[in-house]
Structure 1
Amino acid sequence: MEQPTPSPTPAAAESQYFSSNPPPANLSNHLTLARAFVERHAAEGRRVALVTSGGTTVPLEEQTVRFIDNFSAGTRGATSAEYFLSQGYAVIYLHRQFSLLPYSRHYSHDKRSFLDFMAEDPATGTVVVDAVHQAKMLRVLRQYSEVKRANTLLILSFVSITDYLWELREVAKLMRPLGANALFYLAAAVSDFFVPKDRMVEHKIQSAEEFSQSQSTASSSSNGPSKPPPAARTQGKSLIIDLEPVPKFLKQLVDGWAPDAMIVSFKLETDPAMLVRKAVYALRRYHHHLVIGNLLSTRKWEVVFVSAEEEEKWIRVPRSRRARSASGIESLVGKAAWRASESERQSSADGGVGEPSVEIESLIVPEIASMHGRLIERALARGA
């Protein structure tokens, strides 16, 4: 009987992936910026957080016209980056190109045009901020200006899943000398499947049947006997896409890329019955310090912290302090809690009437910073 092919080791899977899928063109420039940023803040003894944000695309063609994407706009990452900065961290913000950015997110992710925040001063003929928005915009501008002055925010971008993995690996290696002072907050919505470089068609996939047939013939003849068939191809009037799983490198982050850093990852689910179980599974599989579970429908109002060191912990925005959400379902808040007490489930009713809305990231990040502080203390005690 033929024996099954053994799965490659994590190191072998890493080597095979990165040798087969080329790095992004701007990686070298990004690493030059990141190296200088990390070295500066390491010398000053500052904690450095790598915050990943936004979705990753899966290109279907080498000259990409079509790709697979997800809904993420980068809200969680951009918002969290601001709160990490307010906690005294230097932040490398690795985000999907054109997704939300810290500070500008207050105005770029709005149903109104950015021009609606402005007005013309008839006396001077200059553009000014409308009086209604002056107070908030001044507050955001001051925060942003202070971050620029202190040079505590470095913004890097990616587009595809391969771009993201290259950037994450190489920046993580640069952060390795930080030891326990490094923190990874992996909020990006990372694709689970992709098209390997050697199975990607070169040109745009044709929709007209006569052109798609000639394209398939040309692809087959150019593949040669050793090249696998293209992952995206037409069959009659249908488009057939055969995706492969993205290798799971989250364990490599712990084992090899930045072994002393604090790792925080996210688990997004749509089924309340699966959320905690999947978060616990991810924690055990990848050995991260913290997995934050959240439901698609309640992610702006509640999350669950799952870690090896502490009890399962739910963080909820009180009902009267919740911002409106077009996609949220408030009746599902608390439904994913396995062991939450009745008093905990009712805590969402706390808070003053008419108070400003609270961003859940303002509750998440200080908790993480506190956990990180304890991790650093233990690392120092071991080194003493």
Structure 2
Amino acid sequence: MAEPRISSIDGKLAEEFAAPAHVKEVKDKMAAFAQRHAEAGRCVVLITSGGTKVPLESRTVRFLDNFSSGRRGASSAEYFLDSGYAVIFLHRHRSLYPYTRMFSTVNMLDTLQFSASDSGEVVVNQQVLPNIAKVLKRYREVTNGQLLLPVDFSTLSEYLHLLKAAAQALSTIGSKAMFYLAAAVSDFYIPASEMPEHKIQSSNGPLQLTMNMVPKILSPLVKDWAPQAFVISFKLETDATILLEKARRALDTYRHQAVVANVLDSRRGYVVVVTPSTQDEVVLSKEEMKNEVEIEERIVTNLTAAHAQFITQQAG
């Protein structure tokens, strides 16, 4: 396979975004993970999840953050695993995580109790966690099968470098690779060379910031780093009237395979999966939402079918 082309963004990443020290080690792990599962006949999906933090100082005290709990990425990971995929989960540190996400609002001490035998043994209170046995069993199946590789990030810089490393690592498995880019990525940043080293002092008066636009990482990912992969981006808007137009514009600009378009207020019950030739509404009824059906299950079903068709077309 030919080496990936060098894009103009590679230089910008090197100059303006500090790379994490462990990026090569993580890249090697992701490449080995992808190769092992591809050889076993599985597809591999790289899921990005959670928001990116943008520091305002080198020794960071203050930062800008993005609204995202990582719920969509974490739940989608479970449904991809159920669909037979191996998953690389590139997630914000301490954002929601597959399987444990279901218990994120529960106080851990409330879930534990002493056993009735008075032996001092601590057991799980299954009235507080009624589905814990089922979830634990599935989690053990996934971990014992080495089907989930977690990689965490905090800052925008870490995210960009790790996503590039993931793309290059998965490029070796061609069309069996899927990118499900659900993370909420900042649009603005301060270059490392322009960032103050120490805490910004309030005694200096009102703060004025000039921030640069974050380079569009989707373009080199599709064209240079993983050109044979199946790539899905997400488009979240608050104005429904511009949503589909922006989704179509993204497909025209970046030439990837699909956009999951959703409006902030209705994102848990309604999305549109937009491809160059189709436009599929994915909808949950009020009854389904009441019964805690998750729209991510339907999204994943739609996209795994599209990915299978993509692989067949690429092979032809």
TM-score by length of 1: 0.78
Separation in structure 2 between the aligned mates of residue 271 and residue 116 of structure 1, nearest angstrom: 41
Structure 1 position 25, deviation (Å): 2.0
User: Identity over the aligned pairs, expressed in percent?
Assistant: 42
For the pair 1:151 / 2:146, whether they are aligned, the reply is yes
Q: Which amino acid aligns with 1:306?
A: V
Matches within 5 A, 1:267-278: 267-278=235-246
Separation in structure 2 between the aligned mates of residue 294 and residue 142 of structure 1, nearest angstrom: 33
Q: Which amino acid aligns with 2:186?
A: S
Separation in structure 2 between the aligned mates of residue 289 and residue 12 of structure 1, nearest angstrom: 22
For the pair 1:116 / 2:84, whether they are aligned, the reply is no
> Out of 316, 339, 350, which is 2:283 matched to?
316
What is residue 3 of structure 2 aligned with on the other side? none
Separation in structure 2 between the aligned mates of residue 170 and residue 131 of structure 1, nearest angstrom: 41
Structure 1 position 253, deviation (Å): 1.0
Contact 2:28 2:169 in 1 (8 A): no
Contact 1:41 1:90 in 2 (8 A): yes
Contact 2:24 2:165 in 1 (8 A): no
Matches within 5 A, 1:178-217: 178-209=173-204
What is residue 249 of structure 1 aligned with on the other side? 217
Q: Which amino acid aligns with 1:359?
A: E
Q: Which runs of 5+ in 2 are unaligned?
A: 1-5
Structure 1 position 280, deviation (Å): 1.2
Q: Which runs of 5+ in 1 are unaligned?
A: 1-9, 210-236, 324-355
Residue-by-residue CA offset, 1:148-207 (whole Å, 9 max, x unaligned): 111000000111111111001111101001111000000000000100011111111111
Structure 1 position 275, deviation (Å): 1.2
Matches within 5 A, 1:259-298: 259-298=227-266
Instruction: Return the index of the structure with the highest Cα Rg.
Output: 1
Q: Which has the higher contact order (CA 8 A, sep 6+)?
A: 2
Separation in structure 1 between the aligned mates of residue 218 and residue 141 of structure 2, nearest angstrom: 33
Structure 1 position 134, deviation (Å): 5.5
Structure 1 ranges of 4+ moved more than 4 A: none
Aligned residues: 310
For the pair 1:54 / 2:50, whether they are aligned, the reply is yes
Contact 1:76 1:361 in 2 (8 A): yes
Separation in structure 2 between the aligned mates of residue 134 and residue 101 of structure 1, nearest angstrom: 17
What is residue 296 of structure 2 aligned with on the other side? 361
Structure 1 position 135, deviation (Å): 4.5
Structure 1 position 131, deviation (Å): 3.2
Residue-by-residue CA offset, 1:58-79 (whole Å, 9 max, x unaligned): 1111111110001211000000
Residue-by-residue CA offset, 1:90-114 (whole Å, 9 max, x unaligned): 0000001111111111112x1x312
For the pair 1:303 / 2:271, whether they are aligned, the reply is yes
> Out of 36, 42, 50, which is 1:40 matched to?
36
Q: Which amino acid aligns with 1:238?
A: P
Separation in structure 1 between the aligned mates of residue 16 and residue 202 of structure 2, nearest angstrom: 28
What is residue 25 of structure 1 aligned with on the other side? 21
